[in-house]
Amino acid sequence: MNEISQLFANKEFQILVSFFTSLFVAITAIPVIINISKLKDLMAEIEVRSSHEELTPTLGGVAIFAATLIAYFIWDNPNEGHEIHLTVAALIILFFLGIKDDILILAPNKKLYIQIAASLLLISFGDLRIANLYGLLGIHDINYISSIIFTTFIFISLTNAINLIDGIDGLAGSVGLLSSLIFSVLFFKLGLFAMATLSISLAGALFGFLKFNYSDKNKIFMGDTGSLIVGFLLSFFSVKYIAFNSDFIYNPNLGNDSPILVILILIIPLFDTLRVFILRLIEGNSPFKGDRKHMHHILIDLKLSHGQATFSLIFCNIILVALFFVFRYHLAINLLLLILFLCFLIYCSVGYFLSKNIDYQKIDRIQYTKIDKLKRLQLVEEKKVSSRLKDFESE
């Protein structure tokens, strides 16, 4: 009996169980959500910018939310602190915001106000702030008001960046999975077991979600509910990791390059969002106006499959993070930042040259504008019938 008690008290065992519990809950819940969504017609709109041609359930975020919290709360985490309590409170706010937006569609300004309120709940009451940039661009300590504004900006930017890359199957989920796995290892090494458990619980939920996100027969999207939950949690992990490293002088497991590492972990949403915002401003458009200039859209329009496009981006992400750990102790923080800037220029150049090879006249998406639901269903059915006839003729 003592051996069993010791096993359940083991932190590595708890973290492992949390991952598989979250995975099981997600895999069990999502088929139910898919059936309910189809019965109640809670499907994604098909638009010109869409990379999909069939109506698909959008409430995968419900399963991600439930699986993550259930897997986290099965253990007693005495060192979790007030921050995680506030994070859960903020997640509940964002959960209902996402649900309403997925079903009824909310005005962007209302979504932004609620995101700011949820972020400030954690930042102000939990005193979770980035108060030091460790010499990045010559900046060290940041005063209290500036640190609150800066940290809020990070939460809003990262949360919405995850939403913006959720344009093809697997990308947002894979970014969230990779990031949460890396953060779980980092937190575990620092002895932050509650944070490690929460991040691995998110990883398990996303792993289960991806099984259905890639499915042809039982496909589901994470929707705004999922992207808000995933984005906010990744923002929380990022800010917590950077803030915790403030004692890097006294602890060999810490480092003053934590801001660079966080950028590399989340390089796909950060680089892509910055790139499309710059392009839209250059063209005289609002940075918030939707288009198909995202890197994942470019790859899809070049005839890559969703899986191939996602794998290409995630593979580059993994390589960059691996290179960081190889060279982190040999390069100063501002030199690392310069290398990051050069990587961004390369990323923009690759996007530019790839987009030049796309013949947008041959991309048949103009028929999928936002039209009434009955007409959308008719168009999708016509597409299916046409596809079946082609298959039959080829046989």
Q: How would residue 372 be classed by pLDDT, with cut points 50, 70 and 90?
A: very low
Residue 61 lies in a domain: yes
Task: Kindly tell me if the per-residue pLDDT of 118 is higher than 80.
Answer: yes
- What's the pLDDT tens digit per position in 102-117? 888 888 889 999 999 9
Q: What percent of the chain has pLDDT over 70?
A: 85
pLDDT of residue 369: 40
Q: Residues, the chain, total?
A: 395
Residue 147 lies in a domain: yes
Q: How would residue 357 be classed by pLDDT, with cut points 50, 70 and 90?
A: confident
Q: What percent of the chain has pLDDT over 90?
A: 62
Residue 380 is encoded by which pair of tokens?
């999708």
Residue 52 lies in a domain: yes
- What's the pLDDT tens digit per position in 213-240? 998 888 999 999 999 999 999 999 999 9
Burial 210-244 (b: 16+ CB within 10 A, else e): bebbeeeeebbbbbbbbbbbbbbbbbbbbbbbbbb
Q: How far is CA 264 from the centre of its chain?
A: 14
| Residue 318: domain span | 8-363
Q: What is the mean pLDDT of residues 252-279?
A: 90
Nearest to 365 by CA among 36, 49, 19: 49
Task: Kindly tell me if the per-residue pLDDT of 185 is higher than 90.
Answer: yes
Find where tokens 């992990």 sit: 237
Q: How would residue 176 be classed by pLDDT, with cut points 50, 70 and 90?
A: very high
Domain count, the chain: 1
Q: Which residues contact residue 277 at a Cβ distance below 8 angstroms, ignoring those fewer than 6 apart? A: 287
Residue 387 lies in a domain: no
Which DSSP string do the residues of 353-381 spell out, in sequence order? HHHTT--GGG---TT-SS--HHHHHHHHH
Amino acid 163 reads N
Q: How would residue 46 be classed by pLDDT, with cut points 50, 70 and 90?
A: low
Residue 185 lies in a domain: yes
Q: What is the mean pLDDT of residues 286-298?
A: 85
Residue 264 lies in a domain: yes
- What's the pLDDT tens digit per position in 232-263? 999 999 999 999 887 665 566 677 889 999 99
pLDDT of residue 40: 78
Residue 377 lies in a domain: no
Task: Kindly tell me if the per-residue pLDDT of 383 is higher than 60.
Answer: no
Residue 3 lies in a domain: no
Q: Which residues contact residue 346 at a Cβ distance below 8 angstroms, ignoring those fewer than 6 apart? A: none
Task: Kindly tell me if the per-residue pLDDT of 54 is higher than 80.
Answer: no
pLDDT of residue 9: 75
